[in-house]
Amino acid sequence: MERTNPCTACGACCANFRVSFYWAEAPERGLPEAVYAPLNATMAHMIGTNCRHPRCAALSGEIGGETRCAVYDARPSPCRSVEPGDDKCLQARAAYGLAELSI
């Protein structure tokens, strides 16, 4: 039986953390210019994550419901570093009142 990705029913990390990364990573991965912006001379950030109530511009859907990353295959390294059920995942889920994952 194929397991579904629990991230497609969450999205909390995409709406909880600032996603900043080395600017050259964006063109290397093919990240569309519409979803990231310069942060300083060497860093960029995902649009929507650099504010008080973050929500990544690439995220669609409702947090805790059905969600989708529009740039999943090109997502930057900070996004790739969060794994379902890890500390960052659990921190984001708790911030949105979502139960811990049982993976």
**How confident is the prediction for the chain on average, in pLDDT?**
92
Is residue 1, in this structure, part of any structural domain at all?
no
For the full predicted model, state whether its pTM sits above 0.85: yes
Is residue 102, in this structure, part of any structural domain at all?
no
Mean pLDDT, residues 46-68: 92
Query: Count of domains in the chain?
Result: 1
Domain with 10, as residue range(s), is 6-95
Q: Which residues of 10-47 are buried (b: 16+ CB within 10 A; e: fewer)?
A: bbbbbbbbebbbebebbeeeebeeebbeeeeeeebbbb
